[in-house]
């Protein structure tokens, strides 16, 4: 990324009727991540490199930050996009406020930026389905 370029961030938040510990499992257990996001061999260990895999390709990632049941952050690199995805879990009455931020979209990445804005809410919905089953 060149200096001086304004970076954009996609932010999606949703209140979920599940405790942070349960959502944390969906965010960090590979078999569960595969059900709502993409296939992966994820480990919640800072510095751990992993990929998300789909038919259309792979996303190279590395775990940056792990605060169990509170915060998870990893890099997300694919198709020229160098971004960081950060999940924040905040306990609320009756469940958890789940927030995802994907930061690092440059001004010339409208397609990727708009795609992320459309994709994350769908992933949240799929995650809620997985959470209902665990």
pLDDT exceeds 50 at position 31: yes
- What's the pTM value of the predicted model, to 2 decimals? 0.94
pLDDT in tens, 47-81: 999 999 999 899 999 999 999 999 999 999 998 99
* SS3 category, 83: strand
Q: Which two structure tokens, joined as six digits, stand for 55?
A: 């038919």
Query: What pLDDT is recorded for position 36?
Result: 98
pLDDT of 4 reads 54
Q: What is the pLDDT of residue 6?
A: 87
Task: Say if CB 18 and CB 95 are below 8 A apart.
Answer: yes
Cβ partners under 8 Å of residue 81, min gap 6: 104, 105, 109, 112
Residues 6+ apart with CB under 8 A from 57: 78, 79
pLDDT exceeds cutoff 50 at 34:
yes
> ∠ at Cα 132 (130, 134), nearest 5°?
75
Tens of pLDDT along 80-124?
A: 999 999 999 999 999 999 999 999 999 999 999 999 999 999 999
Q: What is the pLDDT of residue 38?
A: 97
Domains plus CATH for the chain?
A: 9-132 (3.30.530.20)
pLDDT tier, 2 (very low <50, low <70, confident <90, very high otherwise): very low
């Amino acid at each position: 990324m060149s200096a001086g370029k304004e970076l954009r961030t996609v932010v999606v938040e949703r209140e979920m009727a599940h405790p942070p510990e349960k959502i944390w499992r969906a965010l960090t257990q590979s078999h569960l991540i595969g059900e709502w996001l993409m296939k992966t061999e994820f480990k919640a260990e800072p510095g751990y490199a992993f990929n998300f895999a789909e038919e259309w390709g792979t996303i190279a990632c590395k775990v940056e930050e792990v605060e169990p049941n509170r915060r998870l952050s990893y890099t997300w690199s694919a198709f020229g996009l160098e971004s960081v995805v950060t999940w924040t879990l905040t306990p609320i009455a009756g469940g958890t406020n789940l927030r995802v931020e994907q930061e690092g979209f440059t001004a010339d990445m409208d397609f990727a930026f708009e795609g992320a804005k459309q994709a994350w809410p769908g992933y949240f919905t799929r995650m809620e389905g997985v959470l209902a089953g665990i």
